[in-house]
Homo-oligomer: A and B are copies of this chain.
Amino acid sequence: MKDMLGRENVIDSKIALGLLLENLRGGNPPEVNMNIEAALGMVASRDVISGEDLPSFARSTVDGYAVRAEDTFGATETMPAYLNLFQEILMSQKADFALPEDNASKIPTGGMLPENADAIVMFEHVQIIDDHTIEVLKPVAPGENVIQVGEDVKRGEVVIRTGQRLRPQDIGACAGIGVTQIPVFRKPAVSIISTGDEIVPADEFPGPGKVRDINSYVISGMVSESGGISLRKGILKDEYKTIRDAIETAMTDSEAIVLSGGTSVGTKDMVARIINDIGAPGVLFHGLSLKPGKPMIGGVIKGIPVFGLPGHPAAVSICFELFIKPVLQRLSGLREKWPQYSRKMVRAKISKNIASSAGREEHVRVMLEERGGELWAVPVLGKSGLITTLVRADGTIVIPLHLNGIEAGEAVDVRLF
C-alpha cells in the first residue's frame, strides 16, 4: 500500500492481523471421520454427546465393605457398629442382590454396589471379628467412597465441544462413552511457493550467485507444527505469469498460500500486483511497523489468505508466528479459549540494553542462560538473513511499538521456539 506521496504506508501488526482475519472465508472447514486415536491433536467438528451414563452402575472408589450408611451412624472405636457379612462382591461381576439391613458386602475398588448399599467403609476402619461379622469403627455418609451412576458423564451431556483441540484425556473420555469414531475438521493445506531466480533446491549445488532453498523448509515445519498440511510447490522463476499461475492453481488445492523469497523491490511489487490482479480484496497490507518483517505482504483472494514473506529467515519465523499461525488456527476450526497462553513462554532477565525505534515492534532472538540460579535472555547477534541466528536462539522477545528499547536486567517474556 502506498500513500498519496508514493511512500510505503506501514501498519502495525495487530491491525494487519485483524484485516486478514476479517477477510477470510466464513463457515467451517470440511469434516472427516477419524478413529479416536488418530484424532489426537485435531479439532472436533461437532459436539460429542454421550448416549449413556458413565459409569452405568454405582462403583466403589476404595477396597472395603459396601454398607447401608445409616447402619454405621454413631459408630466409634469404642462403640463400633456390628454388621453381618453378606455375599462378597467380586470385581467385574454384577451385584445382583439387595443388601439386607445391618449387613455388609466385601467389595473391591471399582466394584459394583448392590441394591440398598449406598456407601463403602474402607478396610482400615473395619475390624474383622469372624467369618460372619465385622465391626465398623467409623461412620460413613451416604455416597461416601462411591462414584454414582452418571457422576462422570450423564446421558445427553456434551463431552467434547465443537472447535476444541483433542487432548489425550478427551480421547479417553470418548472411549469411556463408547465413541470410537469422531468427526473432526480436516487440517488446512498450505501451499508453499518459493520464488527467486537465485534459489536452487536443497539437494543441488548452488553455483556462484545462487543459494539453496532454506525458507520453504522453515515454513513447511512451522505449518506442520501449527496443525496444517504443507504442500511444497517448488521454486519458481520471478515472472508474472509463472507466479500468477502457481497462485491460481494453489487456490484450487489449498486453504492458504505462502510465497517466500522475492526480496528485491521489483519482485515484491510484482507479487502484490499479482495478488490484486487475481481477485478481491487483494493486498490488505504491504509494509509493517515490525522488525524483522517490515516488507511483508498480506492479502486475501476470494476468502483465501495469501502471504508474501520477506526473504530473511528471521523475518519468515516472526511473520509466521504473528500472522500465519493465527490464520491457520482459524482455518483449522479451532476455537481456542486461551490462544494467548498456548505458547511456551518463560520469564527471564535481559542481559544487555537493546535499543529499538518507537513506532516499530521489534522481535529479538535470544538464547537462555542460567547464571547464579537466575534465567537470563542473551540477544543473539547477527543479521536476520542468517539462518543460524535462529538455530542458536531458544526463542524471541518482543519490544513493543511504544518503547525505545529495554535496559539490561529488565524482566522479559521469552517465547520459546
> Which residues of the partner chain B approach A70 to less than 8 Å between Cβ atoms?
none
A175 at the interface (CB under 8 A from B): yes
Contact B37 A338, beta carbon cutoff 8 Å: no
Bound Cα distance A296, B416 (Å): 33
Which 5 pairs of residues, A with B, have the shortest CB-CB distance? Answer: A168-B221, A92-B198, A94-B208, A175-B202, A172-B218
A40 at the interface (CB under 8 A from B): yes
A271 at the interface (CB under 8 A from B): no
A220 at the interface (CB under 8 A from B): yes
The 8 Å CB contact of A217, one of B37, B91, B159, B391, is B37
Bound Cα distance A88, B199 (Å): 20
12 additional contacts (CB under 8 A) given A108-B264, A151-B383, A338-B368? A37-B217, A94-B208, A153-B387, A168-B221, A169-B221, A172-B214, A172-B215, A176-B387, A178-B203, A178-B204, A338-B394, A342-B416
Residue among A57, A109, A170, A343 with most chain B CB within 10 A:
A109
Contact B221 A56, beta carbon cutoff 8 Å: no
Contact B211 A55, beta carbon cutoff 8 Å: yes
A67 at the interface (CB under 8 A from B): no
Contact B176 A214, beta carbon cutoff 8 Å: yes
> Which residues of the partner chain B approach A408 to less than 8 Å between Cβ atoms?
none
A212 at the interface (CB under 8 A from B): yes
| Interface of chain A: mostly helix, strand, loop or mixed | loop
> What copy number does this chain have within its complex?
2
A210 at the interface (CB under 8 A from B): yes
Bound Cα distance A178, B210 (Å): 13
Q: Which of A135-166 contact B (CB under 8 A)?
A: 147, 151-153, 159-160
Contact A264 B63, beta carbon cutoff 8 Å: yes
Contact B344 A211, beta carbon cutoff 8 Å: no
Give min CB distance, A117 to chain B, whole Å. 14
A81 at the interface (CB under 8 A from B): no
A234 at the interface (CB under 8 A from B): no
> Which residues of the partner chain B approach A385 to less than 8 Å between Cβ atoms?
59, 61, 147, 152
Residue among A172, A180, A207, A317 with most chain B CB within 10 A:
A172
> Which residues of the partner chain B approach A338 to less than 8 Å between Cβ atoms?
346, 368, 394, 416
> Which residues of the partner chain B approach A93 to less than 8 Å between Cβ atoms?
209
Give min CB distance, A116 to chain B, whole Å. 16
Give min CB distance, A184 to chain B, whole Å. 14
Type the 1/0 row for A41-71, where 1 means its CB is closer than 8 Å to any CB of B. Answer: 1000000000000111101010100000000
